Amino acid sequence: MTIEVKVPVLGESVTEATVGEWLKQPGDAVAQDEPIASLETDKVAIEVPSPVAGVMGEHIVAVGDSVEVGAVIATVSEGGSGAAPSPSPSPSPAPAEKKADEAPAEKASESEMESLPDGSPTMSPAVRRAVLEAGVDPTTIKGTGKDGRLTKEDVLAAAKAKSGGAAPADTANAPSPAPAQGGERKEERVKMTRLRQTIAKRLKSAQDTAALLTTFNDVDMTAVIEAREKYKDVFAKKHGVKLGFMSFFSKASVLALKTFPSVNAQIDGDEIVYFDYVDISVAVSAPNGLVVPVVRNVDQLSFAGIEKAIAEYGGKAKDGTLTMDEMKGGTFTISNGGVFGGLMSTPIINPPQSAVLGLHRIEDRPVVRNGEIVIRPMMYIALSYDHRIIDGREAVTALKTIKEAIEDPTRLLIDL
């Protein structure tokens, strides 16, 4: 029995997605609820499970196609042992002699798709067609795409090397085809994912709409590093999570945002919306781009609660399991470019928020303390803000408040 696979509900106000990847190919055995496709929405990637156990049937849509909620994207044959379904015969309107002179068909038949050797690497439909049309073995080609995947150019280069006149045995033993005389210049065009398109639109919109300005300061991390080293083992044993720097900066941000409410506010039309709570969006790097899950009610959370929330979101970002609700809202953002080695940057606000705190790498630098030059672990911090709602005095003083709280963490305990 053939079962249709439909696009599931994607989240509130989300009605469309893009097919990012097929996780199962026609003829593959699938278990019930096993992911068979990955869909990309504006914010997250969602896996589509198989409704039944059986054999993967036809891909009705291709990678890169846009699909709406409820649309049929594939079929699954219920039951079976995993053998490929028998394809329906294709009509042959032209004689065989004429076919030999024609260009290869744009799409390979289902039976051709299933004739690829076992153990062949995961390939997109375009690459699979190129493999079939070129008549090459994909297992012998080294992929240059993301995560070592094959690209269409890899297949075409292998086909060109195969037809270059070398004996088959020599080609098989050669580690790679000889480079073309004068060097080879490759180009690869890859369609932007829906997530990347959304990131681009939002960031450009922030630049076009907000009056962006950035103020900088530097922070002596000595006190926080000493506190972390002193209590990290006890903290991890009691709470089951590592004590990081993000909880200190989150708490310091709460102190600044409560003192300067406009930094935690947003513009809505001709009104300013002030929040009596602090929901911090934490910028996290995911495989498909930057995502910003929201830690709610940070002003009410303990250090352990903040660290647990951030750790959980970090794991979900890597696995691609963040939900729309987990990235909705947020009144302020913290972006830590220091984990990638960034020394200084001007972060862009996350609309409709009005400010973002940028953290950077810690490095030993000479500074003056009590009239003497000493070495201290220093970090540059940056606050980008919307000048339409936040005055320079408020922004500078808010960043200075964060600096003072980090350099003297006791302030976090006595709310000073």
Q: Where in the sequence numbering do the catalytic residues fall?
A: 387, 391
**Tokens standing for 245?**
């720097």
For the chain, the straight-line distance linking the first and the last C-alpha, in angstroms and rounded, comes to 69
The residue with tokens 């991390």 is 221
Cis, bond preceding 51 (omega within 30 deg of 0): no
Contact 148, 127 (CB under 8 A): no
| Region of 255 on the Ramachandran plot (φ > 0 left; ψ -120 to 50 alpha; else beta) | alpha
- What is the rounded CA–CA span in Å between residue 44 and residue 46? 6
Q: How far apart are CA 188 and CA 157, in angstroms?
A: 13
3-class SS shares of the chain: helix, strand, coil, % to 5: 35, 25, 40
Beta bridge partners of 48: 37
Cα 290 from Cα 396, distance rounded (Å) = 27
Judge contact between 283 and 290, C-beta under 8 A.
yes
Q: CA-to-CA distance for 116 and 119, rounded, in angstroms?
A: 9
Phi-psi region of 415 (alpha: psi -120 to 50; beta: other; left: phi over 0): left
Per-position b or e across 398-410, b if 16+ CB within 10 A of its CB: bbebbbbbbbebe
Strand 2-6 to strand 72-78: parallel, antiparallel, or no bridges (unpaired)?
Answer: antiparallel
